[in-house]
Amino acid sequence: MVQKVNFSNLRGDTLTVGNTVITGTGVTVGGEALGGSITTYANASLLPLSGLTAGEFAFVSSNSSIYFTNGSGWYLVQSVNQTPSVSLSTSSISLGQDGNTADITYTVSEPEGTPVTITVSNSGITDTSLANVQHYTSNNTLTINNVGFATANEFTVTVSASDGVNIGTATANVSVIYEESGQQVFTTSSTFVVPTGITSISAVAVGSGGRAHRVTESGNDNMYSGGGGALSYVNNLAVTAGETLTITKSGDGSADGSYIQLSRGATVLLKAMGGEPGTLQNTTIYGGQASQGVGHVKYSGGNSGRLTNPDTTYPIRNGGGGAAGYTGNGNTSAGGRNGFTGNGGTAPAGGGGIGLQGTSVGTISSGAGSGAYGGADANGNYGGSYGGGGGGQKPVSFSFSGDMAPNNSALRIIWSNTQTRTFPSNAADV
């Protein structure tokens, strides 16, 4: 019969069996003295059951186990070998922007006190001309060198300690980071590939202003200009470097339902609606509605003005609705306020547009003015970029008929891995 006894230490004249520490010669186990020599057997079935001397040990090579006898049977001494532990001075380092060399020191603890073998490996360095790890055993130090990564990259370094039975490990993550900041404006359908090293983006979308309507009829026609485009923005949108996002522009303001949006597959991440186009019908012409958009923050475009029973001896004209802003809805035509919302245009001007750089660009131009982000042409035919509604006008001759579509929707994406870039206050070009 073989009984199993756990032990955690067997060296010199000390044996720990279960919760009992046996030390020195002449100590008895089961009433018998512990001591003697060790005999090797190929397997446990060859252990003798007669002629036993209490305290003798046997080593069975088939299972690498030690047995000892009390003179009448055998005890299996079950060894508990504890895994060496490895600790590093840091679990993560950054190279590139912060320098291209860094040191990591390590400490190894071996519970049994036996010698250990240290090895160093990495995952992610396929070319040592780009990065390498130097191991200095004299002071337990690793030096990590970035010698060729010119763009963002990541790899790991692992230190392993083996006592011949178990292996303990510790890993440090190494990031090669270079400043990656930028912005991109889209005025047509397109795609955007997330740059290397970028994990989040911010974006703003402005819907197109509604087109102006011009007619040949004289008399008591009801004349309308277009509504202003809505504005939506998102901040710190999680992305994956290398993934492709889709920009979709639908419509140019000449019909209801125009929009511009950013999406990941079938999921819409950002969307701004365009303003309604001018019409002869005696109804309100609405700006793009925030309720139909997608974003962290959303505002509606301003409604257009309208004229009824006009004086046929003078050009019939009315202002377009202003684009929505970063802090509120767009203004209705024929007046409005300066600030970060597109002003409604004073007849016959198109509605004021809104900029794509947040509040950092200052006051937005009114519809009747000119400038980078607002204004209409001299006749008020087109809404200001971006999102201003087209201005309505009827020439004195009543001889021209046409629709003037602003087609001024846009979407801007900004990103950085070293600084905060969000709308509306941290969105200027870098």
Stretches where the chain sits below pLDDT 70 are 1-37, 78-80, 97-98, 213-224, 280-283, 305-319, 333-352, 359-384, 390-405
Q: Which of 160, 177, 194 is the last residue of a domain?
A: 177
Q: Return d(Cα 262, Cα 410) in angstroms, integer.
A: 11
β-pairing, 65-69 with 57-60?
antiparallel
For 240-285, write each residue's pLDDT tens digit.
Answer: 988 999 999 999 888 889 999 999 999 999 999 998 887 765 567 8
Note whether 210 and 312 are same-domain residues: yes
The pLDDT value recorded for residue 325 is 83
> Is residue 309 located within the same domain as residue 163?
no
- For residues 424 and 331, membership in a common domain is answered with yes
- Residue 291 in 3-state DSSP? helix
pLDDT the model gives residue 351: 60
Res 197: pLDDT = 76
Predicted pLDDT of residue 319: 64
* Beta carbons within 10 angstroms of residue 391's beta carbon: 39
Task: Name 328's Cβ contacts closer than 8 Å, sequence gap at least 6.
Answer: 299, 340, 341
> Do 124 and 240 have their domain in common?
no
37 and 105 co-located in one domain: no
Is the domain of 165 the same as that of 194?
A: no
Domain shared by 94 and 68, yes or no:
no
Domain boundary among 39, 59, 79: 79
Clarify whether residues 413 and 346 are in a common domain. Answer: yes
Same domain, 254 and 121: no
Cα separation values, 112 from 15, 60, 63, 115, Å: 13, 22, 21, 9
- pLDDT value for 139: 96
How much is the pLDDT for 367?
Answer: 35
Q: How far apart (Å, rounded) are the C-alpha atoms in residues 245 and 205?
A: 14
Of 177, 201, 231, the position where a domain reaches its end is 177
Instruction: Please tell me the predicted confidence (pLDDT) of residue 288.
Output: 92
The SS3 of residue 290 is: helix
Q: In whole angstroms, how far apart are CA 11 and each of 20, 114, 202, 371, 385?
A: 15, 11, 65, 88, 85
Residues 220, 116: one domain?
Answer: no
What is the torsion angle, in degrees rounded to the nearest 10, for the CA atoms of residue 136, residue 138, residue 139 and residue 140?
60
Q: Is 56 exposed, middle or buried (CB count within 10 Å of its CB: 0-12, 13-18, 19+)? A: buried
Q: How many domains does the chain have?
A: 3
- For residue 287, give its domain range: 183-430
By CB neighbour count within 10 A (0-12 exposed, 13-18 middle, 19+ buried), where does 326 fall? Answer: buried
The amino acid sitting at 218 is S
* Domain identity same for 124 and 38: no
Q: Residue 374 has what pLDDT?
A: 31
Do you find a cis peptide bond into 386, omega within 30 degrees of 0?
yes
pLDDT of residue 312: 45
Q: 399 and 270 in one domain?
A: yes
Opening angle at CA 6, ends 85 and 109, nearest 5:
15
